Amino acid sequence: MSSHGGQPEEGSQAKAEAKPETQKPVEIPPLEKGIIEKITERFGDKIKFVYAKPKRIRFNVKTEDVMDFAKFLHDEVGFDQPISVAGVDYPKENIIEVVYHIGCCTKPEYTSSVFAFALRLPRDNPKTPTLIPVYRGVEYHEREAFEMLGVIFEGHPRLEKLLLPEDWADIPPLRKDFNIKGR
Amino acid sequence: MGLPPSMQVEESEEGRILTISVGPQHPGSGHFRLVVKVDGDIIVGADPDPGYVHRGEEKMCEYRNYIQNIPHLERPMIADSCGILYPFCLGVEDIANIPVPERAKYIRVILAELNRCIFELYWLGIYGIFLGHSTMFMWPMGDRELLIDLAEAATGARVTHAYFVPGGVRNDLPENFKERAIRQLDYFKHRLDQYKDIFYNNPLFLDRTKGVGVLSAQDAINLGVTGPVLRASGVKHDIRKIEPYDVYDQLDFEAYSMNSGDSYARAYIPLLEMYESINIIKQCLEKMPSGSVRTKLGPNPRGAAGESFKRVEAGRGELAYYLVSDGTPKPYRVKLSVPSFRQIPAMPHLLKGAKLADMPAIYWSLNYWPVEADR
């Protein structure tokens, strides 16, 4: 686990450049546009819009806002079903991303959409509050991200090994600097 | 914050609580441990302990290119191998902008539905033996072979087909497939009617499942469960309907849901879905155009840097792949969001307060496959 400076914000700039579709959102469909406007109205520039494709939206959120953001998304916008929590390691930018994918079961107009929001955490100290109080179902997903990428979810009731052996002594295996032997 | 309420154990009198470790030896479907705390025969706490069959699928994906990833990605769920591969192919097509011929879309739907039946029969057989109904173990296992024969005729392999590829399917259907499929599906439908009589209307089965392990709609959404488990709680959420992929929007079918939310509803919905699968396959066989079944790809297909999140309705529920590409032929990150993993939080939630004897009826109705959950 190396740490050579690098702030989360610089990292997100670099990532935006790497993705051509994030720079010019050609035309955002009306449904997605409505959701985006609702959210930007409430959070302004605290959060960063990444992309909107048909039925897929993504925002980047800061650690200190994530709880409010999740509550707003759950209660006001109506995305209520936790689908997946994925950790992605970007050693070049010194970032670990935690991407929450949230679906919707109750509002018929949003059921086909998946809302993603990501936290970009510094790689040497990835810490973020757990979202169990808002999305009860992320409990095991967060435990998996903890053991596979070493992300600390503050306030999580059981941050312990889930899929890996209890005596796993190496670095978290889904970090890019963990290599499979012989490959 | 302490343990979630479903896991908290209220200590009553000293020494009354007994801890039982169920598993990890094969409790029916793969290696999985459930640590159950009982007070008399009432479960006061259950702690699922997966991970005995973790294979590191997601890490393996980062070392192989998109095409090489196909065979190993279906290993976590060989009973529904088309279902688990489907969203991966959709995701790669999204990232690399690969068109899919119309005929291939129909063939994919046929095989996906065939696999749904093959999977649900397997599930039903084990549910039968979990509840001590050995006829219901033998019948689905036997009838499953007929459908496997059909899938084998199309793909060349019994269970691990590796049939779906980005850009279509590996090969076209054999010449007499339509006639053979219709004959076998008609017989299968007749068998499903018999299942209803011998199993679903059996008073013992009704006693053991009706009103057992009731999951409310609100809890089902909040816990993130999916598929038949979610629909049994009255939430109409079927990816084939709400976000149709391939040709599902051109087909006429029903996505069933029930309101009782108990083990009976969770077991009955798969039966209804098998009837519906027969209907879907027959429609596809009629509507299927002729033409090519696979877009020719160059070696090492790749797309621009970016990400894709594609989901399908597999036999157990919503199965999604989060693919991150950095522009190279190998995926940068592959995250499988599998239905079995999503059902885990429902287990302690439903088992707490249930009788120990109801544990098999609740556990297996959740459609939980340890091998798929561990990946």
Predicted confidence (pLDDT) at residue A16 exceeds the cutoff of 50: no
Give residue-wise pLDDT tens across range A47-68: 888 887 888 888 888 888 888 8
Residue A27 within any structural domain of the chain: yes
**Crossing angle (nearest 10°) for helices B263-287 and B177-195:** 160
Predicted confidence (pLDDT) at residue A164 exceeds the cutoff of 50: yes
Residues of A in contact with B237 (CB under 8 A): 81, 105, 111
Q: Which helix (H) or strand (E) holds A39?
A: helix A30-43
**Under DSSP, is residue A25 helix (H, G, I), strand (E, B) or coil?**
coil
Write down the mean pLDDT value for chain B: 87
Q: Is A150 left (phi over 0), alpha (psi -120 to 50) or beta?
A: left
In SS3 terms, chain B reads as CCCCHHHCCCCCCCCCEEEEEECCCCCCCCCCEEEEEEECCEEEEEEEECCCCCCCHHHHHCCCCCCCHHHHHCHHHHHHHHHHHHHHHHHHHHHHCCCCCHHHHHHHHHHHHHHHHHHHHHHHHHHHHHCCCCHHHHHHHHHHHHHHHHHHHHHCCCCCCCCEECCEECCCCCCCHHHHHHHHHHHHHHHHHHHHHHHHCCHHHHHHHCCCCCCCHHHHHHHCCCCHHHHHCCCCCCHHHHCCCCCHHHCCCCCCCCCCCCHHHHHHHHHHHHHHHHHHHHHHHHHCCCCCCECCCCCCCCCCCEEEEEEEEECCEEEEEEEEECCCCCEEEEEEECHHHHHCCHHHHHHCCCEHHHHHHHHHHCCCCHHHHHC
* Overall average pLDDT of the A139-165 stretch: 89
* Overall average pLDDT of the B100-118 stretch: 92
According to the model, what pLDDT value does residue B29 have?
Answer: 64
Please choose, from the candidates B311, B361, B375, B316, the residue with its C-alpha nearest in 3D space to the C-alpha of residue B343: B316
Paired strand residues for B43: B38
According to the model, what pLDDT value does residue B19 have?
Answer: 84
Give residue-wise pLDDT tens across range B128-141: 888 888 888 899 99
**Sequence-separated (6 or more) residues with CB below 8 Å from residue B175:** none
According to the model, what pLDDT value does residue B24 have?
Answer: 80
Overall pTM > 0.90: no
Interchain contact, A163 vs B374, CB within 8 Å:
yes
* Res. B118 pLDDT band, cuts 50 70 90: very high
Closest CB to A88 among B1, B3, B333: B333
Predicted confidence (pLDDT) at residue B239 exceeds the cutoff of 70: yes
Q: Which domain holds residue A119?
A: 8-125
* Overall average pLDDT of the B199-218 stretch: 88
Greatest mean pLDDT among A68-77, A161-170, B46-55, B277-286:
B277-286
Write down the mean pLDDT value for chain A: 80
Closest residue in B to A17 (Cα–Cα)? B305
Domain with residue A100: its CATH number is 3.30.460.80
Distance CA A142, CA B25 (A): 26
Q: What's the structural domain count of chain A?
A: 1
Residue A72 within any structural domain of the chain: yes
Predicted confidence (pLDDT) at residue B7 exceeds the cutoff of 70: no
Hey, what long-range contacts does B95-98 have (CB within 8 A, 24 or more apart)? Answer: B95/B303, B95/B304, B95/B306, B95/B307, B95/B308, B95/B323, B95/B325, B96/B66, B96/B166, B96/B301, B96/B302, B96/B303, B97/B303, B98/B166, B98/B167, B98/B295, B98/B297, B98/B301
Share above pLDDT 70 across residues of chain A, in percent, rounded to a whole number = 85
Please choose, from the candidates A163, A142, A137, the residue with its C-alpha nearest in 3D space to the C-alpha of residue A82: A137
* Res. B28 pLDDT band, cuts 50 70 90: low
* Res. B192 pLDDT band, cuts 50 70 90: very high
HSE of B281, CA atoms in CB hemisphere, 13 A: 29
According to the model, what pLDDT value does residue B88 have?
Answer: 92
According to the model, what pLDDT value does residue B13 have?
Answer: 55
According to the model, what pLDDT value does residue B8 have?
Answer: 58
Give residue-wise pLDDT tens across range B64-82: 888 889 988 888 888 888 8
Interchain contact, A137 vs B3, CB within 8 Å:
no
Which domains, from first to last, does chain B contain? 5-49 (no CATH), 57-374 (1.10.645.10)
Closest residue in A to B57 (Cα–Cα)? A174
CA of A37 vs chain B CAs: smallest distance (Å): 22
Cβ contact B172:B293 at 8 Å: yes
A170 burial (CB, 10 Å; 0-12 / 13-18 / 19+) is exposed
Share above pLDDT 70 across residues of chain B, in percent, rounded to a whole number = 95
Interface of B with A in 204-223 (CB under 8 A): 221-223
Closest residue in B to A74 (Cα–Cα)? B222
Residue B373 token pair: 């959950």
According to the model, what pLDDT value does residue B1 have?
Answer: 46
Q: Tally A–B CB contacts below 8 A.
A: 113
Interchain contact, B59 vs A173, CB within 8 Å:
yes
Residue A155 within any structural domain of the chain: no
Distance CA A162, CA B370 (A): 13
Residues of B in contact with A84 (CB under 8 A): 320, 322, 335, 337
Residue A144 within any structural domain of the chain: no
Predicted confidence (pLDDT) at residue A1 exceeds the cutoff of 60: no
CA of B168 vs chain A CAs: smallest distance (Å): 22
Residue A116 within any structural domain of the chain: yes
Residue A140 within any structural domain of the chain: no
* Overall average pLDDT of the B343-349 stretch: 90
Interchain contact, B306 vs A55, CB within 8 Å:
no
Residue A161 within any structural domain of the chain: no
Predicted confidence (pLDDT) at residue A10 exceeds the cutoff of 50: no
**Sequence-separated (6 or more) residues with CB below 8 Å from residue A41:** none
Predicted confidence (pLDDT) at residue B291 exceeds the cutoff of 70: yes
